[in-house]
Structure formats: C-alpha cells, structure tokens
Amino acid sequence: MAEILLAVERLKKFFTQKRGFPNPETVTVRALDEISFTVNRGEAFGLVGESGCGKSTAGRCVLRLIEPDSGGVTYAGEDVLEAGKERLRLLRRKMQIVFQDPYASLNPRRMIGKALAEPMQVHGLGDSAEIDARVEALLAEVGLPPDARWRFPHEFSGGQRQRIGIARALTVSPELVVADEPVSALDVSIQSQILLLLRGLQDKHGLSYIFISHDLGVVRWFCQSIAVMYLGRIVETGPVPAIFDDPLHPYTRMLRESSPVPDPEVRVAPARIAGEVPSAVNPPAGCHFHTRCPHVMDKCRQAYPEWRMVGQGRGVACHLHGA
Amino acid sequence: MTTAVKAGAASTSDTPGPILRVESLTTSFRSGGAWHPAVRDVSFDLARHETLALVGESGCGKSMTALSIMGLVPKPAGRIAGGHIWFEGEDLTQLDDEAMRRIRGDRISMIFQEPMTSLNPVLTVGFQVAEALFYHRGMSGREADRMALDLLEQVKIPSARRRFADYPHQFSGGMRQRVMIAIALACRPQVLLADEPTTALDVTIQAEVLALLAELKTAYGMSMVFITHNLGVVAAIADRVAVMYAGEIVEIATVRELFRRPTHPYTELLMRSIPRVDRNIAELETIQGQVPSISAMPPGCRFAPRCPLREPRCEAAPPPLAGRSGHHVRCVVRAGA
Amino acid sequence: MSRGAAIAAPRRGFVHALRELRRAFNTNITSWIGLGVFLAIVLFAVLAPVIAPFDPYEQHIIDRLKGPDATYWFGTDAFGRDILSRLLHGARYSLVIGSVATVSAMIIGSAIGIVSGYVGGRVDLAVMQVMDVLMSFPSLIMGLMIVAVLGPSMGNLIFAIALTAIAPFARIARAPTIVIKQRDFIEACRALGFSDLRIMVVHILPNVMAEILVLGTLWLATSIRVEASLSFIGLGLKPPIPSWGGMVREGFEVILDSAWLSIFPSLAILLIIFALNMLGDGLRDAVDPKLRGGE
C-alpha cells in the first residue's frame, strides 16, 4: 500500500535548564518523551497539540536541527540520526522546513533573489543561468511577481513573506517539508491562500508534510492523518476523518470540543476549569492528562496507559480503551 | 444624537436606549505628511447587556475603534478626526483627559490580547487588582485587598488566597488573562472592551476564558465589545456582529443572521475560507490579493479590487451602509438583492 | 546579479549597513558636523606634503620658539620647526596608527565575538572570560605595559592599541549574534545544509555590521587618544617624528613661556576626538533604538 517515507521511533529529547539565583535549581523539560509515528509518501501528517506539548521540538528533531537524546528517525530507509556530515547535507535536500513567523524566517538584509539562489549555489544545483531561471520559476510557483527577486523582505506583507519562505524550502526540491504552524501568524483570508498553495504543491510535486499546528480546523482540512500530542507524548493517532468524527482519547475530544466553530447554532462546550494546566516540566504521574480528564479513574493516576492499536491505523494511549 | 439623555438623569442601569453609541467615528493617522483614516465613518449602537463583536483582519481598524472609545488613540500620530461616541449621555470625544481618566477603568474597561505585557512584572497580582479600587473607588487598603481577593475568586483562579501575593510570571497565560479580567471588572464597569483577549491562548484555555467572560457579563450586567479575527469565537460569544474591512464596517447584523445570510462579498468569502473542525470541506475559498494600505485606499468600495462581484459602479463612489431590520451591508451590488 | 553572488554577498550587506546608517544619520546634525570635521582633518593629512608651508623636520634655528605670526602661523618649536607643518604631518601618523589599530581590532574582535556567540556553550563562556580580563585593563595602562615590554615602535604601538580594542569589539558583535542566531532564518540556513562558516559570514555578519561600525568610529577616537597619550609619556613614536602627543610633551617643558607649542597639538587632538565622538554618538543613537525586529 502506501510507502512509508519517514519513520520516527521512540524519539526522546529532554531539555535541562538552570533556574533561580543564588540557589539554581535544575529543571528538566520533558519536551519529547519517546514518541513514534510514521509519515507516508505524499501524505500530509498533522502533529497537533497545545503550546508546550513538544510538537515543534519533534519537527526539529526529525531534521536534526535539534539533536534528540535517543530514538530513531528513518528517512526512506536511511538512518537520519546516524548520518555523517556529508550524508546529512544530502538528506537536508530531501527534508525542508517552513516556519511560523514570516518576519523572523527571512534574513532582513538579503535580497529575495539571492536568498533563493543561495541554497542552489551551495548544493551546486546548476550553473548561474539555470539557477536564475529556477528562481524565476519558484517565484511564479508560489505566486509572487518576478520583480520580487530584487526586493528585500521588509517590502513584503506577512503572507508574501510566507510564500518566500516556502519558495526557499522548495529550492532544493525536497520530498518532505516540516511546516511548523505555517499559517498561524496569518490573517484568515491569507491563511487560506497559503493552505491552498501548500496543497497545490503536494498535488503537483507529491510532497509530503509534517504539518505542525494547534488549529484543528486547519489540520482537518489539510492533513490525511494526525497525531495528537500532550505534554511530550502522542496520545492518539489515526486517519483524519475518523479521529475528528470519533475521537477516542478524552484530550482529543476536549480539543475538538473547545475549537470554535463558525456557527452560532453550535455553541462551544466550555472545557472544565481544573486549575493550572500542568507543563512538561512536571507532568503529572500516571496518565499526564488525568488532572484534566472528565473520565479519570484510579489507575489513571498510577500508570501511564499502554499504547494500543485499535484498528484502521488508529492508536490511542488511554485506560478507557485498554484491554 | 438627537435625544441625548441628560447626564444627570442617566442612572446607571435602566435608562432606555443603547449604553454606547458610536456615530460616524473617523480616526486618522498621519503618515507621509498626510492624515489617513484608519477608522472611517464607523457607527454602531451597543445595547445594554449586549455583546457586540467587531471582527476583521489585522489593520481593519477594529482595535483602533476600541482605543478611540477609550480615548487612547496614540498622539500625536493619531487623532479622532470626526464623529461622536455617546456614553450615558456624554460625548466621549469632547471630554478632556482628566474626565476620560475617571471613566477609563471605572465605567469602561478594556482587556488586551497579551496578558504577559499588560501586567506589571514587579508588582503582585493582588496589588494590581486592588490598585484600581484604590484609584477609582478610594477604598482603604484592607477593603481593596478583600475585594481584590473576591474578584480573583470570581474569575476562578484556583486557590486565589494562596496566590494573591504571587507575581505575574508565576501564572500561566490563561491565568494571567483571568487576572486582567479581574482588574477590568474591579470597578464594575458598564462596558467592557475586550481586544482579542483569547487570541494568545490555547484552544482549551480559550474556551474556558470565553465561558468565564459570558458568565461574568451576565453576573455584572455589563455590555461588551469583543474584538477578534476569529469567526468561530464570534459565533461562540456574540449577540451581534460588525464585520470590518479596511477601516469601515462592511456588514452588521445579529450573529444568527450574519452566519445564516452573510451578504457582503467579503463576509461571505471570509466564512468560506475558514477550514472547519466539525465537518469536511472539499473546497476552501480564498480571497485574492491583500488589504490595501492605509495611504492607498481605492476611491470607491474598499473591497472592490479583491471582489469577485465587482462592477464599474463599485469603483465610482464609496457605497453606503444600507439595509433593513438591523442587517446593514456596505455593498451596492448586494444591497438590492 | 546572481553571477558571483556568493562573493558579492558580504559586500552587499556592508553597503546595506552603510545605507542604513546614513538614513538614520540624516536626522542628526551633530553627526554631520562630526563627519565634516573628521573628513577635513583626513583631507589635511592626505595633502600634508603639498599644503604644509615647511618641511616638518626642517630646523630654522634663528626662528626657534617664535610665536604665531604671518610666516609661522602656529609658531615654531625649540628647534625652530614649523608647528603647523608638524601638525599636518603628525595627523598622518595619528590617523594611520589609529585606523590600522582600530580596523585590525574590529576584524579580529568581531570574528571572535561572532564565533563565540554562534558556537555558544563552554567555548563562549571561556572566550568571554578572557575578554572580560582584557576589558578590565584600562586601555592606556594596557598599551603602556605592552609598549614598555616590546619597546616603542610604530608596529608595537599599533599592536598594543589594537589588543586593547579587541574585547569591546568581541562584545559588541557577540550580543546581537546571540539574538540573531535564534531567529528562524538561521535555522532555515542550517536546514538548507549551509556550513557554519557561511552562516556566520554571509548571514550573521551583515546583521551586526551597523553596531560594529558605530563602535569602530568611537574606538578610532580612543585609539588616537591612546596613541597621543603614549607618545606624551615618551612610549610612542620616537622624536623627531611629529606625533601630536609627542609635540604636546615637547611643548610642556616650555609651557609657561611658549604655550603655543602644546596648545595647538592639544587642540588638534581635542578636535579630532570630539569630531569622532560626535559622529559615533550620532550613529549609535541612530542604530541603538531599533535593534530591529522586522525593520
């Protein structure tokens, strides 16, 4: 069936910080606590969760922009974490990233044309005439006027900058793009333009995405399958329509029900107010979600639930769906 | 404007008519030596106990409308260039700074998007809530503290008593926004202006804060102007909605009416360009191009350059906001339909 | 345009930084005055052999210690040498020593600062400790020690002054580097497989250039001052070379009778330092407030 492009296996990354003066305390942030997932070729895979759940860290560990502590990342059969300098350079042509903040993601002092030509020069993808033509084609592809190449980032709006960021990722003709909240900073009307652009590229070039987002609506429209993260762990995965129609994990359900729907007949069900939300610094014992879970049971407080596959490519970690 | 109620007769609660009436408000900004209206000819009524949502994209003038009401338009770059803001029989645009200061935070309060920067990091949360009570109500320290604690409990800060003396950085974003709400409510304002209060929050927290705001609005008998870019949030909280585009209200209606029959092409396209969590959408609409810059507004309808229904007459003159039974639209093509 | 873009890139960033400085500059009249005075001094120095009325070494024994008059505008010294001519030629030494020292410090210091800030961690910690030690010596004392050990020569003078200036440049380059390396566009560069060297030179350097240039202007003034001070205490250029600090010192011995000997070189030192500081302060005001986010 579908070819697995990327396999992530028990990926782990803890950050330690020293806080406080004069008696510093060492704090461990459990950003990624052994997460596993796979991305099929040509698929948009959504990583969903709220701030601090580790979804961005996951995206960066896959690209080795952050070195994970342990675990495995396999790209098209090749071990990414073991790759040496040269292999990594080649792998980076296959895997690219698009960022959330279109203002921080471009070098303010670099003309667009140069910013787009540079990756091709570094990787030796063609002579200067070829690169020149390719820059022009890329600008057209992401919907920017040809004269954009002579301009600087500050001359563009947020949506246009995001297009430039996408064009830059495309310069090396990648197969997998990690899109880290690519539309969160954009206005609604611009958001749909960018989503359509990304979808178009997926269809045209067979791109695969790891689409990181907190917006369930966007993920539902854009992704074919998703993983829901909570405090450094994946709590549920599965194909898109199924997860949204019948969320199994109470957290997925809470996310879905809290997401505002543009329809006054469907009033959002307010989530229960259960005190301070725990963070990845001190995740609660047992199931991390038990402090906010409406179905909490005794065993939820004691043991983290086993991961269980429940058919049609769906998996969940919840005692409600245990044996 | 014709029947401005005498200030003396206006008791706090039950005079008829809207509590806030904005009339042809124009707020301009200076750029490149000329004044450009960031808010142009904006009029709306805010009924008692009503929540009116101002919705639009960045730069549409929704925040500037709220700042105009609060008398907080940044000077000297900006100024209210025309119109009236009637509040309890007084025209706020005519009040001097001192009089505005007495109203601000007392009878009209505002909460902002970023609860991190809106709180002073070196003062305790309890003190910051109590401060409004010293300042506007002249309460003693002990009284103000008791009242502040009460407020923190009302905004559902868990173990409020224990956390009274904590500093803002010890709170999460959602909890900080609750503190901001407590400060805003301290003097039992009649009108609360909420500028994107949930935008920086996670969705589960957003749902909590929206529920809290709705509950407190009823409990306090307040009216609320809720500013947001998120139509889902609008649907969840508003009674009426004004859609803004490029400094103008392009459509205003009750929330049900607006979502059932979005009439302005901008409103309609906007609604069809949002991916939804509750259903599969095959086609996502999009609005081509981008909002014109403040110094280069089209002479006619400001949405015309991006509008699929554009006709020559759209570009001739600015269309009026017209309609009946409370559903008004600024579109000559759709107004007749 | 794309031809040779890789080579052209840093220059481009440099030009951009200059342009930005000029824009900010336009609002500030004192910077213009500073720049004008400084350029005038540079011009005089360059043209010294042409415009100087006399040879700076030529001794007019009959006219020794003459006050300013129509022949010797600024008077003569104890050997009957024309002070104006010596001042004009002395400007050349001051400027050359000051600018060579400053530019070398600028290059070395910025490189240290950028690498240290970019690499971070223990390396950064160690490098900055060393820089802190260097900074804790007043530049004059430091220069004094080095010249005292190595002996007074033009090369050693430049070396001593440059050494004291490395730490400030390292610091000024490091701070914005740390901010910039966390921006997404640097991460994008890494994701695109660019080498660290390329990221530092092509992407970070242009973004910290403005700050470095501002400090460069201010430090040029300091370098000239230190050079003058060292010459004044006899550790600078050897007589009979006309150096401003040395001239002040020569005049110092006869200051009660022939004040012009020290007054004119002192004024010259004052003027150039004042001009450079006005220039640098104006530039700093222009650059500082907008440690820009999106520009």
C121–chain A Cβ distance below 8 A for any pair = no
What does the pLDDT look like over C34-54, one tens digit per residue? 888 999 999 988 888 888 788
The per-residue pLDDT for A317 is 94
Kindly state the tokens that stand for A285. Answer: 């014992």
- Which phi and psi (to 5°) does residue B48 adopt? -65, 140
| Chain A residues near residue B269 by CB distance under 8 angstroms | 189
Q: Is residue C152 pLDDT above 80, yes or no? A: no
Q: Which chains touch C (3 or more CB pairs under 8 A)?
A: A
Among A99, A106, A109, A176, the strongest candidate for a mutation testing the C interface, having the largest count of C CBs within 10 A, is A109
State the SS3 of chain B.
CCCCCCHHHCCCCCCCCCCEEEEEEEEEEEECCEEEEEEEEEEEEECCCCEEEEECCCCCCHHHHHHHHHCCCCCCCEEEEEEEEEECCEEHHHCCHHHHHHHECCCEEEECCCHHHHCCCCCCHHHHHHHHHHHHHCCCHHHHHHHHHHHHHHCCCCCHHHHCCCCHHHCCHHHHHHHHHHHHHCCCCCEEEEECCCCCCCHHHHHHHHHHHHHHHHHHCCEEEEEECCHHHHHHHCCEEEEEECCEEEEEEEHHHHHHCCCCHHHHHHHHCCCCCCCCCCCCCCCCCCCCCCCCCCCCCCCHHHCCCCCHHHHCCCCCCEEECCEEECCHHHHCC
Amino acid at C33: I
Q: How many whole angstroms separate alpha carbon A178 and alpha carbon A184?
A: 15
Q: How many whole angstroms separate alpha carbon B323 and alpha carbon C32?
A: 60
Asked if B54 and B229 touch (Cβ cutoff 8 Å), the reply is no
Q: How does the average pLDDT of chain A come out, rounded? A: 90
Please tell me the distance in Å from C192's CA to the nearest CA on chain A: 6
Per-residue pLDDT of chain B (337 residues; tens, 9 = 90+): 334 333 333 444 455 689 999 999 999 998 878 899 999 999 999 999 999 999 998 889 999 999 999 988 888 888 999 999 999 888 999 998 889 988 888 899 998 887 667 788 888 999 999 988 888 888 888 888 999 999 998 888 888 888 899 888 888 888 888 899 998 888 889 999 999 998 888 888 888 889 889 999 999 999 999 999 999 999 999 999 999 999 999 999 999 999 999 999 999 999 999 998 888 887 888 888 888 888 888 989 999 999 999 999 999 889 999 888 889 999 999 876 5
What does the pLDDT look like over A20-51, one tens digit per residue? 667 778 888 889 999 999 999 999 999 999 88
Neighbouring-strand partners of residue C42: none
- Please state the rounded mean pLDDT for residues C185-202: 92
Identify the weakest region by mean pLDDT among A154-163, B162-171, B291-300, C235-244: C235-244
CA angle B188, B191, B195 (to 5 degrees): 110
**C229 lies in a domain?**
yes
The per-residue pLDDT for B336 is 63
| Contact assignment for A92 to C187 by CB distance below 8 Å | no
- Other Cβ atoms within 10 Å of C137 Cβ, number: 15
Report in angstroms the alpha-carbon separations of A254 from A212, A225, B204, B213, C74.
Answer: 19, 19, 7, 20, 88
Please tell me the distance in Å from C174's CA to the nearest CA on chain A: 18
What does the pLDDT look like over A85-132, one tens digit per residue? 899 999 999 999 999 988 889 998 889 999 999 999 999 999 999 999
What is the span of the domain harbouring residue C94?
Answer: 9-290
Q: Which residue bears the tokens 């910077």?
A: C31
**C1 lies in a domain?**
no
- Which phi and psi (to 5°) does residue C243 adopt? -115, 150
Band (pLDDT 50/70/90 cuts) for residue C263 is confident
| Chain C residues near residue A167 by CB distance under 8 angstroms | none
Q: How many whole angstroms separate alpha carbon C55 and alpha carbon B33?
A: 57
Q: Which candidate from B58, B232, B273 shows the least CB-CB separation from A261?
A: B232
A310 by DSSP, 3-state: which?
Answer: coil
Q: Which candidate from C12, C190, C195 shows the least CB-CB separation from A65?
A: C190
- Which phi and psi (to 5°) does residue B49 adopt? 65, 15
Let me know if chains B and A touch, i.e. at least 3 Cβ pairs under 8 angstroms. Answer: yes
Asked if A66 and A60 touch (Cβ cutoff 8 Å), the reply is yes
Which among C7, C22, C3 is positioned nearest to C210, based on CA atoms? Answer: C22
Q: Which residue bears the tokens 């530039």?
A: C283
Q: How many whole angstroms separate alpha carbon C68 and alpha carbon C260?
A: 8
| Chain A residues near residue C177 by CB distance under 8 angstroms | none
Handedness of CA C103, C108, C113, C114 (dihedral sign): positive
Asked if A122 and C217 touch (Cβ cutoff 8 Å), the reply is no
The per-residue pLDDT for C289 is 45
**C81 lies in a domain?**
yes
The per-residue pLDDT for A129 is 94
**C224 lies in a domain?**
yes
Please tell me the distance in Å from A259's CA to the nearest CA on chain B: 6
The per-residue pLDDT for C210 is 83
* Most confidently modeled range among A73-87, C66-80, C248-262: A73-87
**C146 lies in a domain?**
yes
Sheet of A4-19, strands arranged across = A25-40, A4-19, A70-75, A78-79
Q: How does the average pLDDT of chain C come out, rounded? A: 82
- Other Cβ atoms within 10 Å of B306 Cβ, number: 20
Please tell me the distance in Å from B242's CA to the nearest CA on chain A: 15
Q: Which candidate from C1, C195, C294 shows the least CB-CB separation from A113?
A: C1
Asked if C293 and A105 touch (Cβ cutoff 8 Å), the reply is no
**C3 lies in a domain?**
no
Residue of A nearest to C184 (CA): A105
| Contact assignment for A260 to B203 by CB distance below 8 Å | yes
Asked if A63 and A28 touch (Cβ cutoff 8 Å), the reply is no
Let me know if chains C and A touch, i.e. at least 3 Cβ pairs under 8 angstroms. Answer: yes
Q: How many whole angstroms separate alpha carbon C134 and alpha carbon B168?
A: 40
A209 by DSSP, 3-state: which?
Answer: strand
C225–chain A Cβ distance below 8 A for any pair = no
Q: What fold, for B17-107+187-335?
A: Rossmann fold (3.40.50)
Cβ burial C107-119 (10 Å sphere, 16+ → b, else e): ebbbbbbbbbbbe
The per-residue pLDDT for B7 is 39
Q: Which candidate from B174, B235, B275 shows the least CB-CB separation from A220?
A: B275
Share of chain A above pLDDT 70, in %: 96
Whole-model pTM?
0.85
DSSP label at residue C204: I
**C80 lies in a domain?**
yes
The per-residue pLDDT for A269 is 60
Domain regions of chain B by residue span: 17-107+187-335
Q: Which candidate from B271, B284, B288 shows the least CB-CB separation from A221?
A: B284
Which among C277, C273, C279 is positioned nearest to C95, based on CA atoms? Answer: C273
Q: How many whole angstroms separate alpha carbon A99 and alpha carbon A180?
A: 5
Cα C22 from chain centre: 19
Asked if B158 and A275 touch (Cβ cutoff 8 Å), the reply is yes
Q: How many whole angstroms separate alpha carbon C78 and alpha carbon A135?
A: 71
The per-residue pLDDT for B12 is 46
B135–chain A Cβ distance below 8 A for any pair = no
**What is the Cβ-side half-sphere exposure of residue B20, based on CA atoms within 13 angstroms?**
28
The per-residue pLDDT for C1 is 34
Write the CATH number for C243: 1.10.3720.10
Band (pLDDT 50/70/90 cuts) for residue A1 is low
Torsion of CA A156, A59, A251, A39, to 10 degrees: 110
Report in angstroms the alpha-carbon separations of B313 from B287, B292, B299.
Answer: 21, 19, 11
A225 by DSSP, 3-state: which?
Answer: strand
Kindly state the tokens that stand for B104. Answer: 């601000």
> Dmax of chain B from CA atoms?
67
Handedness of CA C63, C69, C71, C75 (dihedral sign): positive
| Chain A residues near residue C3 by CB distance under 8 angstroms | 128
Identify the weakest region by mean pLDDT among A252-261, C16-25, C77-86: C16-25
Band (pLDDT 50/70/90 cuts) for residue A276 is low
Band (pLDDT 50/70/90 cuts) for residue C18 is low
Structural domain count, chain C: 1
Kindly state the tokens that stand for A69. Answer: 């502590």
- Spatial CB neighbours of B258, under 8 Å, sequence gap ≥ 6: B241, B243, B251, B267, B327
- Other Cβ atoms within 10 Å of B1 Cβ, number: 9
Q: At what angle do helices C184-191 and A158-170 cross, to 10 degrees?
A: 20
Q: Is residue C290 pLDDT above 60, yes or no? A: no
Share of chain C above pLDDT 90, in %: 27
- Please state the rounded mean pLDDT for residues A141-158: 91
Classify burial at A26, counting beta carbons within 10 Å of its beta carbon; exposed 0-12, middle 13-18, buried 19 or more: exposed
**Within C27-153, where are the H helices?**
29-51, 83-119, 121-136, 139-150
